[in-house]
Every structure is written in structure tokens, then in C-alpha cells.
Amino acid sequence: MEEVLNNDKLWKEALVEIELSVSRANFATWFKNTHIIKNEDGIVYINTPNTFIKEWLSDKYHKSIIKALRNISPTIKNIEYLVSVTSKNMGVTKEEIYKIEEIPTQEEQLGFNEFYIDKESNLNPKYRFDNFIVGSFNEVAYAASLAVSDNINTLYNPLFIYGGVGLGKTHLLQSIGNKIKETNLKVKVQYLTSEKFANEFINSIQNKDVYIFKEKYRKYNLLIIDDIQFFSGKLKIQEEFFHIFNSLYETNSQIVFSADKSPKQIEGLEERLRSRFEGGMMVDISKPEYESRLAILKSKAEEKKFFPSMEILEYVASVIQDNIREMEGALNSIIGQSKIKGKILSLNEIKELLNKNTKPVKTINVNELIKIISNFYNIEERYLFEKTRKKEIVKPRQIAMYLLREDLNASYPYIGQKFGGRDHTTVIYAYEKISNDIKKDIKLKQEIDQIRKNICEISL
């Protein structure tokens, strides 16, 4: 006969197994404060803190949960997910959650953590491993960071994390610092950006107290320097840093860096420093896939006590692909607008809201677009169609192709044909070049924003 397990024990055992198949941060996000409240006629009733988590568990983790439960108790047939009546949300129904009273103010959403920075270490306690969502795009960087925070200096020294903007580098770096500070009060931790480091160094030269600066940085057990690409081309600072690095390394201190590129790709970096960076563990963070974007968005929404429908979250996760910070920004503007309007926005309103800042709402035709671009760059329209490789023509032409594709949804072959019968691969090249350049080149981004504004004006 099967032993009758009490509910708590059953759930505890199941969680041990579930935890193996789910990353640590996701596990903490979705399974905390869940309980089994009843196990009757083969149905297990699981209480969750809110509808949001309830939906997520039943949508995404149902299979793992039922498998784990059946391993322990094979007679279990199914699971019912409930919303807790004892938790803060007191059995709110979905409709109630949608009421505007549930949307906290900006300050409430941000919470005090957002503004609080520890003076001694420069760390912001809001960046933690347990609110960091792990997916295939960042799991290696996450694992390496966790390993370093469990055991400084025995592994991976230095740790170098690189990847594009808004992908979680700072979050990971600070999580390492925060975790180490929590677990070992004696460890002296310092977090700063390379820019701040450079400024301090320059000030110390001006104040003629470089020796104080040098002393200060040699005493840390864990030094975390964010965005090291800023050292590029600054040889004097690189030299100073090189000595500090060596001295820390020799005294078994842990050093952690981030950069937007790998050491090889950072220009103007002294060879000896580059080889130090490469001498430890290098890991990159790539762009998050859809599933991870959705999980991050859900957990951010929950942190802010905002519970939009799955449809809305799926929409946001599908349109914002490259940057987690931008995704958070979109979520904040949805919350802000919902507050103003007194209700959670509809999907259509959200589509409009997210489009407004980036793309013209109404469309114009190709000729109008060409006219706007040639006016903007002060060149004759006909040049855009000619087969010239002059720089001052190539760029506006590529921007025209980009905007036709991005904002007017024109097909590549159509655009090629419009521009003097060019091959569609030329158009794809132009589109991709501008898409990439925008991310790096602020001036280009501003130009394109201005062109879009001009388009909006004539299309209204």
C-alpha cells in the first residue's frame, strides 16, 4: 500500500525534483510561496500567491510538476492550480486584479531599492541572482558568476563578461558583489565603472595624491569594473590599471570585468592588458530568445505588482527583441499609461503606444519618403537612384531602404526594384547595416529619429 504523505512533505519532495529541471532563478521566481493545500481523489490542489504565477505554472511548468508528483505518488491524476486566499492578494479574481487600484504608483513600483546604493561598495542591492532570469542566452555567464560568488579567486580569475547593451552584464556583476558581501562580511568589495575609475585617477593626478588612489585599489578582495571598453585608447589609465591588476592578482584578489565586446574586439587596448583579460574566464551573453524574454517580462511585471494578460506580455516580448532594458522601459510606459487612463491598456492601445516613439503610425508612399530623406541630407532626389558609391549618397540611400523595410514593410525585391533595379541582397545588406549601426552610432540614431518625425508630420 502506498504511504500517505502529508501535503507539505509531498510538495517539498516534488520541489527537490522540479528544481533540477528548472534554473535556479526561475525556480525562485515561480515556485516561492506555493503550497499543496489538498490531495483528494488523485487531484492535487496547489496554492499560488497570485493569478499571474498560477497561469505561469499551469502553462509552462505543468509537465514538470506532474511528473515530479507522480514519481513520488503514482496515483496522482491531475493538478488544480489555485490562487492563495491567505497571501497578500487575498483571493483576488482576475477581474479584480485588472482594476486600476492594483496598479502601484511609480514610487511603489520602483521601491526604495532602486535608489539605494551602498556607499562603501557602490553596489545596488536590487541586482541579485534571485531576480535574474536564466535562459540559454545567458546561462554560461550566470553559471560563471555564481561560481565566482561561491568561491572567490579559486576559479575564473579574472572573470570577463561581454555582450551588447541592456543584456544583463551590470546585473550579473553586481549580483556577484552583493552575494559575496552577504555571505562574507570581511571581504572588501568594490564595484565601479571604468569611467569612474578613470575619473578618480585623473583627479588624483590633479590633486597630487596618486599614491592614495593606488593604495585604495590594492586593498580590495573583490574588484568589479563595469564597461571596461571605456579604457579604449586611454593608455595612461591602462598602464596604471595594469599595475593595480597585477598587484590584486598576486594577492589572490578576485577581479571581474564587463565590456560590450570581447577583449580582442576592443580597439586601443594595450596587448599586455588584453592578455590579462583573456587569461581568466571569458563568457559572453547573447540576445535572449523569445521564451526568456517572456519569462523576464513576467517576472519584472510581477515585481512591479502589475498583472497584464498573457497576450499583452507575449506581444511585448515579441516586438522588443534586442535589449532587456528597453523591454523594461516598455513595461514601465504601459504601467504609466494604464495609471493615467485608469485601466490596463488594451492590446491595440499598447501596440500604438510602443510604436509611437519609434515608428510613424501612418504610412506614406515611397516617393514621399525619398523626398524627405533627400531634403534632410540636402541632396538631389535623383542621386539616390543612381549607381554611385559616393559616401554622401550611399548612406541616405541605405537609410531610405532601411525605413522602407522597417516602417513601410516593403519587400526586399520591391525596394531593390525601386532603387534602379538593384538586387534584393543589396537591400538586405543595407537594411542590416543600418539596423546594426543604429545601435552603435548615436548620431545616426538621432538622424533617423528626426527623419521619422518629419515623416510623421507629413503623414498626419
DSSP character string of 41-74: TTEEEEEESSHHHHHHIIIIIHHHHHHHHHHH-T
Residue nearest to Mg ion (CB): 170
Shortest spacing between CB 325 and ligand ADP, in angstroms: 4
Q: Which of 133, 294, 344, 345 binds ligand ADP (CB under 6 A)?
A: 133
Contact yes or no for 151/249 (Cβ under 8 A): no
Q: Is 211 helix (H, G, I), strand (E, B) or coil?
A: helix
Q: Of 84 and 229, which CB lies nearer to ligand ADP in the complex structure? A: 229
**CA pair distance 235, 238, nearest whole angstrom:** 5
Give the CA distances from residue 294 to residues 29, 99, 141, 300, in Å, rounded to whole numbers and listed in that order.
13, 23, 20, 10
**CA pair distance 210, 453, nearest whole angstrom:** 49
Q: Which of 170, 229, 238, 299 binds Mg ion (CB under 5 A)?
A: 170
Q: Of 331 and 384, which CB lies nearer to ligand ADP in the complex structure? A: 331
Residue 165 binds which one of Mg ion, ligand ADP, none, with CB within 5 to 8 A depending on kind? ligand ADP
Q: Which stretch binds Mg ion (CB under 5 A): 83-91, 130-138, 140-148, 161-169?
A: 161-169
Q: Of 155 and 165, which CB lies nearer to Mg ion in the complex structure? A: 165
Q: Which stretch binds Mg ion (CB under 5 A): 36-44, 167-175, 331-339, 399-407?
A: 167-175
- Four-CA torsion 12, 18, 22, 27, nearest 10 degrees: -20
If one asks whether residue 89 binds Mg ion (CB under 5 A), the answer comes out as no
Q: Of 49 and 135, which CB lies nearer to ligand ADP in the complex structure? A: 135
Shortest spacing between CB 333 and Mg ion, in angstroms: 21
- First CA to last CA across the chain, in angstroms? 75
Considering only residues 135 through 154, tell me which ones interact with ligand ADP, judged by CB under 6 A.
138
Q: Which of 328, 331, 396, 415 binds ligand ADP (CB under 6 A)?
A: 328
If one asks whether residue 320 binds ligand ADP (CB under 6 A), the answer comes out as no
Beta-carbon contacts of 90 under 8 Å, excluding residues fewer than 6 positions away, are none
Beta-carbon contacts of 315 under 8 Å, excluding residues fewer than 6 positions away, are 347, 350, 351
Shortest spacing between CB 401 and ligand ADP, in angstroms: 29
Q: Of 89 and 175, which CB lies nearer to ligand ADP in the complex structure? A: 175
Residue 308 CB neighbours (<10 A):
24
**CA pair distance 117, 143, nearest whole angstrom:** 25
Which x/- pattern, by CB under 6 A, does the window 151-190 give for ligand ADP?
--------------xxxxxxx-------------------
Cell numbers for 249 = 592578482
Contact yes or no for 129/179 (Cβ under 8 A): yes
**CA pair distance 170, 212, nearest whole angstrom:** 27
Which x/- pattern, by CB under 6 A, does the window 292-311 give for ligand ADP?
----x---------------
If one asks whether residue 405 binds ligand ADP (CB under 6 A), the answer comes out as no
Binding stretches for ligand ADP (CB under 6 A): 132-133, 138, 165-171, 296, 324-325, 328
Residue ranges binding Mg ion (CB under 5 A): 169-170
